[in-house]
């Protein structure tokens, strides 16, 4: 049975409790981060903490724990649950208070929850095969740069993809791909350029995205951060997505159109390899 962290206590998962008045439950008034674990160590931890602080700041949510506190909690959960490969999930809410659209008093204690998931991420059959993607309209709220727990629409998009026989959905706004349902989206043009949406409130500022773009730059690949159309994606020579859980995940079909030769391409494969190597070397 997993040990989880709830508000300062390590508990068996069956004993973990959060108030029914918690604002994360009532209003999705909460932010989260998911950090990759490789060989028992945390990948891109500092980047996840920077994004956590940014999300909290954008929502005006006070938070007392330091990055050092959170690192200790992450490591303790990895130790207690014997995680060699998988994920640590962190969620911070504005706390529990009587239901009111107005925020509670600033001194209201946060609710802080962390738990682990054992998951095989390096040996991925999906990455070997390549993802089949469909596109759906992007109907999310317009602050997608804040990593909140408002994930109902992405969940619906994933379910639509599943109902259409696909692995995942890419979201489209005004004819242009914003990102995947839970990942950043990329194409590679016939001249070898890596294209991904530029940072704005339309997409999540992915930690894995940042690391993979650095890998691409080090390989001296041309990079364009700009919107791209669904038609461009369908006619790309390669496509892929990035996320903490998917790493670099090739895309081989979009809306029934084969991408390139319909197989994972060499550039995505090379970026995945380099990202894994660097993640192992820099994990804490």
- Give the 3-state secondary structure of residue 187: strand
Average pLDDT, the chain: 97
Which pLDDT belongs to residue 57? 97
Rounded Cα distance between 111 and 105, Å, is 14
Alpha-carbon distance of 186 to 194, in angstroms, equals 7
pLDDT at position 214: 96
pLDDT in tens, 40-71: 999 999 999 999 999 999 999 999 999 999 99
Active-site residue flag, 41 = no
Average pLDDT of the segment spanning 129-141: 97
Q: Average of pLDDT values for 14-34?
A: 98
Please give the pLDDT value at position 7.
Answer: 97
- The mean pLDDT of 178-187, rounded to a whole number, is 98
Q: What is the pLDDT of residue 44?
A: 96
- Residue 129: per-residue pLDDT: 96
Give the pLDDT confidence score for residue 128 in this predicted structure: 95
pLDDT of residue 79: 98
What pLDDT does 41 receive? Answer: 97
Under the banding of pLDDT at 50, 70 and 90, the label for residue 246 is very high
The candidate with the shortest Cα–Cα distance to 35, out of 214, 207, 186, is 207
157-162: long-range pairs with CB below 8 Å, 24+? 157/181, 158/182, 160/134, 160/136, 161/133, 161/134, 161/136
CB-based burial label for 88 (10 Å; 0-12, 13-18, 19+): buried
Q: Output the pLDDT for position 124.
A: 94
Confidence of residue 133 (pLDDT cuts 50, 70, 90): very high
In this prediction, residue 82 carries a pLDDT of 97
Q: Which candidate in 41, 119, 147, 162 is catalytic?
A: 147
Q: What's the pLDDT at 198?
A: 97
| The pLDDT value given to residue 42 | 98
pLDDT of 220-237, one tens digit each? 999 999 999 999 999 999
Task: Show Cβ contacts of residue 2 under 8 Å, excluding neighbours closer than 6 positions.
Answer: 12, 13, 81, 115, 116
Report the pLDDT value the prediction gives residue 167, as an integer from 0 to 100.
Answer: 98
pTM of the model: 0.94
């Amino acid at each position: 049975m997993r040990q989880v962290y709830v508000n300062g206590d390590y508990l068996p998962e069956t004993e973990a409790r959060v108030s029914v008045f918690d604002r994360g439950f009532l209003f999705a008034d909460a932010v989260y981060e998911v950090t990759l674990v490789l060989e028992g160590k945390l990948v891109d931890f500092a980047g996840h903490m920077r994004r956590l602080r940014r999300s909290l700041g954008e929502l005006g949510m006070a938070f007392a724990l330091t990055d050092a506190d959170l690192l200790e909690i992450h490591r303790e959960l990895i130790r207690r649950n014997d995680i060699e490969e998988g994920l640590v999930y962190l969620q911070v809410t504005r706390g529990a208070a009587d239901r009111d659209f107005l925020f509670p008093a600033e001194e209201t204690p946060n609710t802080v929850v962390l738990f682990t998931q054992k998951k095989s991420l390096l040996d991925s059959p999906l990455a070997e095969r390549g993802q089949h993607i469909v596109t759906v309209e992007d109907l999310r709220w317009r602050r997608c740069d804040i990593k909140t727990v408002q994930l109902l629409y992405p969940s619906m998009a994933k379910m639509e993809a599943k109902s259409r026989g696909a692995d995942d959905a890419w979201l489209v706004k005004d004819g242009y791909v914003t990102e995947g349902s839970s990942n950043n989206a990329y194409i590679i043009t016939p001249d070898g350029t890596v294209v991904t949406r530029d940072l704005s409130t339309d997409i999540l500022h992915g930690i894995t995205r940042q690391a993979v773009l650095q890998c691409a730059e080090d390989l001296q690949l041309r990079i364009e951060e700009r919107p791209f159309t669904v038609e461009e994606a369908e006619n790309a020579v390669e496509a892929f997505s990035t996320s903490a859980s998917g790493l670099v995940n090739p895309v081989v079909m979009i809306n029934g159109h084969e991408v390139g030769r319909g197989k994972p391409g060499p550039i995505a494969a090379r970026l995945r390899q380099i990202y894994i190597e660097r993640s192992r070397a820099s994990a804490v």
